[in-house]
Amino acid sequence: MQWEVRSIETVYTVYEATTILKRVIQSSPDLSQIFIRGEISNVSRPVSGHLYFTLKDDRARLRVVMFASRAKLLQFQMRDGMNIIVQGSIDVFERLGDYQFYAENAQPDGLGALYLAFEQLKERLDKEGLFSPQRKRPLPVYPKRIALVTSATGAAVRDMIITLSRRYPIARVYVIPVAVQGEDAPKQIAKGIELVDHYNLADVIIVGRGGGSLEELFAFNSEIVARAIAATQLPIISAVGHETDVTIADFVADVRAATPTAAAELVAPDIRELHSRIDMFEQSMQTRISMHIGRLQQRVDYLAEHRMLKDPMRMVSVLHERIDRLEPRLRLSLRDTVERGIKITTQLELRMARCSPNGQVSLMRVRLDTLQERQLRAIQKRLEIADQTINRLISSLELLSPLAVLKRGYAVTYRAAEHGVITSVGQVQPGESLHIKFIDGWLDCQVWGVYEDDETSK
């Protein structure tokens, strides 16, 4: 088989061919800024932040790339098996010669992205414990300062101010104006909450807005607002939308109010009820005071009728008579007390005499002399026993001493050079010098001959 080459210019490099294909694809309007529906598989998000996944249906597959700058704007988390609609363009990746879809935006197919993001964030924060009843704080009964973190121009702030002014005009109301809708709204709401908490501007915070669609309530479903509510040290009421609207802020806040007006009613006691209670307390106090005064008056009347006040001189005479009767008894009692004291003192003196230190010292001296005498006798006895033992040992030593043997006429022979004892004739050679020890001195001798017992017998 022969190839027909018309011209060298018709031969392309791999890169040139890929570039031509890329240019053709990029110039095609059917492949630029299109929407593709499919099921997600093989989702991967490396540390770079880019999203890589495959979009498939029952007949084909398409590799998709979404760069980190676009991926971080997604309002939901991609998972395998999820059906989505992706917006973007098909292009060629020159290095591998593959074509793939470069996604710029995506949303769930058949389920709104905001609602999916709402459910995913709700599930994650619930697992972290931000919705736990144990962390909910009670509202103050009589707050002195109330902060409203909301739009300064909406109907919600107007309704809350009117309700607070009517129900509880003695409280100070601070309005922290923030955007409650739009891209910058979550940051402003979180900053407003942090401002009130940091400077302790209020005893309780109401954060909220009027009703709206899920998109309009997006700020109150954001993670930054939820964490700002959870981080504050002040109790917070969430008052977002109408009674049917439920947001992430409602779950995190200490108390959820159905509407902003309901939040104002929750946080502020009714001044008319307070006045009524004050009147009731005042009436109760007056009744108690009147009853107490009446009891005191009865006591005064009783004392006024006492005979001491009616005839004081007669009472003085009676008291003098009682004193005269009690005086002899008092004297007798004092005399008995003095006699008992003297008797007790005498007994104590006798006991002290028996326990006199001088007597104890004399007794101890006698005991000490007795002990010394016994000790001397014991020492003397032990010395006698020791002398007897020493004498026995000396006698034994004398019996074993070589000198005692020498006294009986024996002698000990030593080698002159080595001073060793000679015990056999076999240890001596003719001509050697020997020392012979007697009981009273030494002899220096020289051996002239050596004879064993057998030879001398011959």
**101 SS3 class:** strand
Closest to 161 in 3D by CA, of 169, 339, 235, 1: 169
Torsional sign, CA 267, 271, 277, 281 = positive
Spatial separation of the C-alpha atoms in residues 337 and 330, rounded to whole Å: 10
Structure confidence at residue 279 (pLDDT): 75
Domain spans of the chain?
A: 11-111, 130-269, 271-312, 376-405, 412-457
Structure confidence at residue 186 (pLDDT): 93
Q: What is the pLDDT of residues 404-418, one digit of tens each?
A: 677 777 788 887 766
Is pLDDT of 193 > 70? yes
User: Mean of the pLDDT values across residues 249-258?
Assistant: 92
Measured CA angle at 91 (ends 86, 93), to 5 deg: 120
Which string of b and e fits 280-293 if b means at least 16 CB within 10 Å?
eeeeeeeeeeeeee
Closest to 209 in 3D by CA, of 147, 265, 262, 157: 157
Q: What is the pLDDT of residues 90-135, one digit of tens each?
A: 888 877 778 889 999 888 876 556 677 777 888 889 999 999 999 9
User: Mean of the pLDDT values across residues 314-333?
Assistant: 76
Q: What is the pLDDT of residues 363-374, one digit of tens each?
A: 788 888 888 888
pTM passes above 0.75: no
Q: Token digits for 364?
A: 């101890």
Spatial separation of the C-alpha atoms in residues 270 and 374, rounded to whole Å: 105
Given the candidates 3.90.1720.10, 2.40.50.140, 2.60.60.20, 2.60.40.420, the CATH classification of the domain at 11-111 is: 2.40.50.140
Q: How does residue 175 score in pLDDT terms, banded at 50, 70 and 90?
A: very high
Q: How far is CA 318 from the centre of its chain?
A: 77
Structure confidence at residue 158 (pLDDT): 92
Which string of b and e fits 191-214 if b means at least 16 CB within 10 Å?
ebbeebbeeebbbbbbbbbbbbeb
For the structural domain made of 130-269, what CATH number should be given? Answer: 3.40.50.10550
Measured CA angle at 214 (ends 163, 228), to 5 deg: 65
Q: Are 115 and 246 in contact (CB under 8 A)?
A: no
Mean pLDDT of the chain: 82
Is pLDDT of 377 > 90? no
Q: How does residue 308 score in pLDDT terms, banded at 50, 70 and 90?
A: low
How far lies 389's CA from each of 311, 352, 378, 392, 393, in Å?
112, 55, 17, 5, 6
Structure confidence at residue 1 (pLDDT): 46
Helix (H) or strand (E) holding 414: strand 412-415
User: Mean of the pLDDT values across residues 14-31?
Assistant: 76
Is pLDDT of 80 > 70? yes
Q: How many C-beta atoms lie closer than 10 Å to residue 53's C-beta? A: 26
Structure confidence at residue 314 (pLDDT): 67
Q: How does residue 456 score in pLDDT terms, banded at 50, 70 and 90?
A: very low
Q: Token digits for 280?
A: 């009731």
The residue that leads in pLDDT, 319 or 181, is 181
The residue that leads in pLDDT, 125 or 275, is 125
